[in-house]
Structure 1
Amino acid sequence: MSAHVDQPAVSSYAQKTAQLVPGLADLHKMACVLLAERASAQARVLVLGAGGGLELKAFAEMQPHWRFDGVDPSAEMLRLARTTLGPLGSRVQWHEGYIDSAPSGPFDAATCLLTLHFLPAAERRRTLEAIRTRLKPGAPLVVAHHSFPNHGNDQDKWLFRNAAYAKASGVATSQADASISAIKEKLPVLSPEEDAAVLHEAGFTCVEMFYSALTFKGWVARTP
């Protein structure tokens, strides 16, 4: 990707992500609804893994007075996010890096979508703890990522289902099939039970699953 990110790149990224994540637009809509249960109309929201800008755009359109801090380690993906948001980007402060690059807050709400499955359990817990320390008491957190049984036949079953969905959505058969071994080898995926436990261990309460779509799961939780 070049330093200049054009509209075709935005459209391509959005289409490719939607081909891989069932109900992506509805996931963003549900996440915003769940954040708004406890966040005010003037909320300041932390978005970790903001590259691409798809959830930021959805949130900004649904909540016209929210302001955001978007954090992502990829400068190219942050440029894509700025292009995705267009004028809505004036309500976002951008931060290149990981959670330690985020302001201390306090924030009224936070999200981390399609990101935590890249982190091993210990680093995932540390990241969640760092999010929690940046949130106000009672503030909501919404997370969603790959989460499925991570051993034996059950793991294979869900990965084959994930690949079948990608093919049905227009992903090339070779690419979809390659994702099975790639996810096994490269992603430290946790089971849904382990994911919920990590949220509790990081200090969050009222952990509830709200989204389950093949290999993807999502939870809403809040700070004490």
Structure 2
Amino acid sequence: MKSSPLTSAEKFDTSRANEYGRQSRIALAGYDACQDLAACMLAASFGPASSAKILVVGAGGTAQEIIAMASLEPGWRFTAVDPSEPMLEAAKQQLEANHLLERTSLHLGRVEDLAADESYDAATLIGVFHHLDGDDAKRQIFQAIRAHLKPGAPLIVAGNQYAYASQPLLLAAWGQRWRQHGASPDEVKVKLGKILQGADPPHSEAAVQQLLHEAGFGDATRFFSSLFWSAWLTCKTG
């Protein structure tokens, strides 16, 4: 059974939030590199810009995208949005440890809950869209983000693509990744079972591009890939 947008928020409970930093770095080989490159891609798309307001959607957990961007660009400020209270609290702790709370506004809820007149110079959506059930929910979050972006503003999108069962070699390699970090064969089997049942990724890069186009974004440039995961930069059109 696939997850729905509601259960996607609910499943990121306190237990999952507490282990998110370690588990995400195992599940995504190159986790920190992806976050670092996302910051570099945004900075490159801006050119010389001393200040910017960045909307960070699904910021809960490690807050690593904010940490990476803030380190690169000391004049940027951030609005962090997440529907999971435990995940947002985990992010808050990371931001506090890195002395970034004064540069970050935290919002428990969804993008649609932000004030209608709030606009941003850029946005990130990292590790979120494959948890949303169906194309309509994915398209809706892209559209909600677009509504808060200035004309031509960049958006970083990152997450899993492909139907998991359609890529058996990648799925097997994913299992080996967990084994590489100490999981037993039975534990690997359980983890892969949860993956197959707990998310609904787009079935191809072309599907991601189509969803972005339908939501009012231009062609996306892929800048990172790791097994099922890819990251792109696109910009608001119109």
TM-score, scaled relative to structure 1: 0.88
Tell me how large the CA RMSD over aligned residues is: 2.0
User: What is the correspondence of 1:62-141 to structure 2 with a 5 Å cutoff?
Assistant: 62-86=72-96, 87-104=99-116, 105-119=118-132, 120-141=134-155
**Structure 1: which 4+ aligned runs deviate by more than 3 Å?**
169-175
* Structure 1 residues 172 and 58: CA distance shift in structure 2, 3 A: farther
Q: 1:129-173 deviations in whole A, cap 9, x for unaligned?
A: 11111111111101111112x275x33332222222222234454
Whole-angstrom CA distance in 2 between matches of 1:13 and 1:127: 22
Q: Is the 8 A contact 1:200 1:207 kept in 2?
A: no
Q: In 1, are the aligned partners of 2:70 and 2:76 still within 8 Å (CA)?
A: yes
User: Quick one: which amino acid aligns to residue 209 of structure 2?
Assistant: A
Could you report, residue by residue, the CA deviation over 1:151-198 in whole angstroms, capped at 9, with x for unpaired residues?
Answer: 75x333322222222222344543332232222222111122211211
Matches within 5 A, 1:1-224: 9=18, 13-39=20-46, 40-52=49-61, 53-86=63-96, 87-104=99-116, 105-119=118-132, 120-148=134-162, 150=163, 154-191=166-203, 192-224=205-237
- Alpha-carbon spacing, 1:18–1:195, altered in 2? closer, same or farther (3 Å): same
Q: Percent identity, aligned pairs only?
A: 30
How many residues get paired?
Answer: 215
User: 1:62: Cα distance to partner?
Assistant: 1.7
Distance, in Å, in 1 between the alignment partners of 2:115 and 2:25 is: 30
State whether residues 21 and 216 of structure 1, in contact with CA within 8 Å, keep that contact through their aligned partners in structure 2: yes
Pair 107,121 (structure 1): closer, same or farther in 2 beyond 3 Å? same
Residue 218 (structure 1) shift: 1.1
Give yes or no for contact 2:164–2:171 (8 Å, CA) kept in 1. no
Determine the C-alpha separation between the residues in 2 that align with 1:93 and 1:199. Answer: 26
Q: Distance in 2 between matches of 1:222 and 1:170?
A: 40
Aligned to 2:6: none
Q: Secondary structure at the match of 1:106?
A: coil
Distance (Å, rounded) in 2 between the aligned partners of 1:168 and 1:151: 20
Residues of 2 paired with 1:103 and 1:109: CA distance?
Answer: 16
Deviations 1:18-62 (A, max 9, x none): 111111111011101111123332000000000011221222122
Matched residue of 2:32: which SS? helix
Q: Which residue of 1 aligns with 2:9?
A: none
Secondary structure of 1:41 counterpart: coil
Structure 1 counterpart SS, 2:220: strand
| Change beyond 3 A, Cα 1:210–1:103 | farther
What is the TM-score when the length of structure 2 is the normalising length?
0.83
Which amino acid is 2:151 matched to? P
Measured at CA, do residues 173 and 41 of structure 1 come closer, stay the same or move farther in structure 2, by a change above 3 Å?
A: farther
Contact 1:19 1:171 in 2 (8 A): no
